Structure 1
């Protein structure tokens, strides 16, 4: 699940990435963090989900995926779009329009 919030003072968009709990350690990995699995780990929340927030530039499209500690990649069903990646799969896209 994706939640977007305009940050008017900074003219940026805060995007919160949320996945259901009961999963291995997960990170959100994408264009916004140079696809670095250690950059944005999702933290466990009291409601059983995991989430991480990133602040992004407005009017952009960012490819991303989730990465599990066990080496598995997965997509977000709530992504704004999907694009074919260089590995024969699909990446999610979040837009900040």
Structure 2
């Protein structure tokens, strides 16, 4: 799931997943972090889910995927659309 919070010069996008599906650590990787795993690792929240917030330029579109343990790549069903094998988010 994605949450967006518009700010003056950017949009804060929060990437949210259930606490244990998939199990183990999960990173969101995309063109906004040069597709580097571990830069934006989802962390536990009080509501039992995992999340990470990334500040992205306003009025932009970004490709991303999630990377879980065991080299398991997957997309976000709530994303704006798809770009080939990647999810896309619009700010």
TM-score, normalised on structure 1? Answer: 0.88
Instruction: Give unmatched runs, 5+ long, in structure 1.
Output: 85-89
- Structure with higher Rg: it is 1
1:71 aligned residue: 71
1:91 aligned residue: 86
Q: Which runs of 4+ in 1 moved over 4 A?
A: none
TM-score, normalised on structure 2? Answer: 0.93
Distance 2:90 2:10 in 1: 12
The CA RMSD measured in Å over matched residues stands at: 0.8
Q: How many residues align?
A: 89
Q: Where in structure 2 are the equivalents of 1:6-25 lying within 5 Å? A: 6-8=6-8, 11-22=9-20, 23-25=23-25
